[in-house]
């Protein structure tokens, strides 16, 4: 019995190592950096300088809060739950967009702009409804990233496979963003209605070709950035996704190609490593 348990543990750890070695840079950042910051905060209280607080931004010009609030967390449980939701979506987005374009999208469209909207909205609410205590509201975390990326991933891309809950409940791919939006905007404890709703609306802006060109980097711009010497530390890192190799997506229910090669789960660029293959599709 002990030998079997040891073998199972060894196989599991080998699988975990294999998954971790295939993760692209931004996905690794989303997995490890919030944990690092949570441990650092236990010794330095650094999160007190990262909370997105309207009065600190507008009156004390602590602009860093608009940029850095996603890497802070209110609790260990909240951080784990958000990471669980975020990892598959950020991996999928990085494979499709490329690493640099995803960084730009997360920083501008899903962090800075929602942060500015949040600060202005909280300020106006505190002015016109001072009795409700809006002026002391503060926010942290990556839930805005989850909401925005789910909308981008599931509404922009065609051929996205349906979600399966508990292996038996099929959720149509167009309905999943609505479920995520309702959960994080209305039901998740401690989530900001204003910020997450802003991220959702900006996700819709991203998938609208008429407006997305004003908020996203062009392929030509990304190609130029990838050639910059000051970005070599990132562009030469393992599993970096170049704009030229992004956009590949192979749904798990695709039939084999004409050359009759079988597509294995590890070759599925659109699925998060380690996810199973749905049988009977």
In a domain, 264, yes or no: no
In a domain, 70, yes or no: yes
Give the Cα separation of 21 and 10 in Å (integer): 17
In a domain, 27, yes or no: yes
Give the Cα separation of 272 and 85 in Å (integer): 12
CATH of the domain at 172: 1.20.1540.10
In a domain, 226, yes or no: yes
Q: What is the pLDDT of residue 262?
A: 43
Q: What is the pLDDT of residue 134?
A: 62
41 CB-contact burial (10 Å; exposed 0-12 / middle 13-18 / buried 19+): middle
How many CB atoms lie under 10 A from the CB of residue 117? 17
Give the Cα separation of 23 and 90 in Å (integer): 10
142 CB-contact burial (10 Å; exposed 0-12 / middle 13-18 / buried 19+): buried
In a domain, 245, yes or no: no
In a domain, 114, yes or no: yes
Output the tens digit of pLDDT for each of the chain's 281 residues: 566 667 777 777 777 788 888 999 999 999 999 999 999 999 999 999 999 988 899 889 999 999 999 999 888 988 998 999 999 999 999 999 999 999 999 999 999 999 999 999 988 888 887 776 665 667 888 999 999 999 998 887 665 666 666 567 777 777 878 888 888 777 676 678 888 889 999 999 998 888 888 888 999 999 999 999 999 999 999 999 999 886 654 443 444 444 444 444 444 444 555 555 444 44
In a domain, 250, yes or no: no
Domain span including residue 232:
22-239
In a domain, 276, yes or no: no
Alpha helices (H) in 98-214, listed in sequence order? 99-104, 113-128, 143-156, 176-182, 193-207, 209-212
Domain count, the chain: 1
* Token pair recorded at residue 231: 């970005």
- Cβ pair 147, 180 in contact under 8 A: yes
DSSP track, 65-94: HHHHGGG--S-HHHHHHHHHHHHHHHHHHH
Tell me, yes or no, if the pTM score tops 0.85: no
């Amino acid at each position: 019995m002990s030998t079997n348990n040891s073998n199972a543990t060894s196989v599991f750890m080998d699988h975990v190592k294999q998954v971790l070695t295939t993760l692209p840079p931004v996905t690794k950042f989303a997995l490890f950096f919030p944990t690092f910051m949570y441990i650092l905060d236990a010794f330095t209280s650094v999160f007190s300088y990262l909370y997105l607080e309207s009065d600190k931004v507008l009156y004390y010009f602590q602009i860093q809060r608009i940029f850095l609030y996603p890497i802070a967390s209110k609790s260990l449980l909240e951080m784990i739950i958000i990471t669980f939701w975020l990892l598959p979506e950020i991996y999928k987005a990085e494979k499709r967009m490329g690493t640099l374009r995803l960084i730009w999208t997360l920083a501008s469209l899903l962090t800075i702009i929602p942060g500015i909207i949040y600060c202005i909205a909280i300020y106006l609410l505190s002015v016109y409804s001072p009795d409700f205590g809006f002026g002391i509201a503060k926010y942290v975390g990556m839930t805005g990233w989850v909401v925005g990326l789910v909308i981008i991933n599931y509404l922009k891309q065609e051929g996205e496979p349906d979600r399966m809950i508990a292996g038996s409940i099929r959720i149509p791919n167009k309905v999943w963003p609505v479920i995520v939006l309702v959960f994080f905007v209305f039901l998740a404890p401690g989530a900001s209605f204003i910020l997450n709703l802003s991220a959702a609306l900006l996700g819709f802006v991203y998938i609208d070709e008429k407006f997305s060109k004003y908020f996203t980097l062009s392929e030509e711009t990304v190609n130029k950035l990838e050639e910059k010497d000051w970005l070599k530390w990132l562009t030469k890192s393992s599993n970096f996704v170049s704009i030229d190799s992004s956009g590949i997506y192979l749904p798990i229910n695709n039939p084999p190609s004409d050359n009759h090669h079988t597509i294995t789960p590890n070759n599925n660029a659109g699925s998060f490593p380690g996810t199973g293959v749905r049988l009977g599709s």
